[in-house]
Amino acid sequence: MSAASEARLFLLGWNFRVAESAVRDRVAFNPEEVREGLSRIVGQGLASETVIVSTCHRSEIYGLAESAESGDGLREFLAQWRGLAVAEIASTGFWREGPEAARHLFRVAAGLDSMALGESEVLGQVRQALSLARETGSTRSVLHRLFEAAVASGKRVRSETEIGMHPLSVASIGLELASKVFGELSGKTLLVLGAGDTGGLFARQAVDAGVKDLLIANRTRKRAEDLVARIGGTVVAWENATEALGKADVVVGTTASPEPVVRRVDVERVMQERRGRPMFFLDLAVPADIDAGIRDIYNTFVYAINDLEQVAEENRRRRAREVPRAEAILEEELQKFLAWFGNLSVVPTVLDLKKRFEQIRDAELARLPAGDRERFQKIADSIVAKALHEPMRRLKSEEDPRRKLDRVEAIRHLFDLDGK
């Protein structure tokens, strides 16, 4: 990258690929810590601009620095702040500079660097990171442009490829399969057996998917009541769970029962009452909650955890096939950013500004009669030279790298030197 000699992009990060969770926990930042970190990094001169992306799977510090030694200073700062040895900070993290730092952010925003390939949540997290940096005042023209470009690229990947279209989580796959049976789920009744972690996660995703009639049954009623208080729905007494089958279109088993809690004989009775209307069963429990014989009943659809994992694996393969298309989009957008950043050097900007003034001069001279052009040429040349002299002198002599970049960007914008 022919970037400005005054500044270079950098990235210091830890993610699930290179650091164990114990280390990631030590370098993770909540929003208040992000604000503190941003202020201290800029305040101590470790970077002229900085943005921190911190999620459950990654902590990444992006910055703009004038010194090649900025990484050492940043590692020392983090070691002191987080109570870690500098050697541990260095050995468990990764360092990127220039185009590679920018390319990594673009991949993160598009979900290509996530545990779940193509996941969408990270795009919002990147956007939130930029928002926090703006609030703190730690980002200026370069990182603002970089993160905006990364977010726009991530959106483009999601709209032009299918990398995020095929669900990977068991709960999402289960809801998608139920939708294939019933169509819209908002008018259906869903019964969740078990209010533990799995049942709670599925119930929450069901509500997010538009399910309005949600029934929760759990052996310990208090746990079901707590879940309903958080996400909505209706508590069903455990002893009435079999009776509740008659109301349900979708039944999800998530208990730790050693025996099936949904018996074939009960479902046969319910299906007679439903006059053959379809019923969907999702068994997320091990051992199984749904009697295997229910699969043989007409118009029942039964999926066990193994079935869903097979679908998830196929969906992972389908997403992986979209990676080359996604990478081509990211590279195209990355090159646009790198071209813009490369033009932030003072010399290209001075030359582009001079060229723009000369274009204006030539256009105005062309309007004169041919006999007058030569006579006014020297005067026009003198005006251009004098008009450019002081701005160029001030731009070249500016000692503060941050102000220099801001002024270069302002000139390029005001005189439309990038042709936009």
Active site residues: 56
Q: What share of the chain is helix, strand, coil (3-state, %, to 5)?
A: 60, 15, 30
Residues in contact with 283: Cβ distance below 8 Å, sequence separation at least 6, in sequence order: 252, 253, 289, 290, 302, 303, 304, 305
Other C-beta atoms lying within 10 Å of the C-beta of residue 90: 18
Other C-beta atoms lying within 10 Å of the C-beta of residue 309: 12
Q: What is residue 290's DSSP assignment?
A: B
| CA distance linking residue 300 with residue 270, whole number of Å | 11
Reduced to 3 states (helix: H, G, I; strand: E, B; else coil), residue 307 is helix
| CA distance linking residue 254 with residue 271, whole number of Å | 22
Token reading at 43: 């305040």
Token reading at 416: 């439309």
Identify which of 195, 163, 180, 155 has the alpha carbon closest to the alpha carbon of residue 250. Answer: 180
| CA distance linking residue 171 with residue 183, whole number of Å | 17
Identify which of 245, 145, 250 has the alpha carbon closest to the alpha carbon of residue 206. Answer: 250
Token reading at 190: 């869903």
Read off the amino acid at residue 94: F
| CA distance linking residue 273 with residue 267, whole number of Å | 10
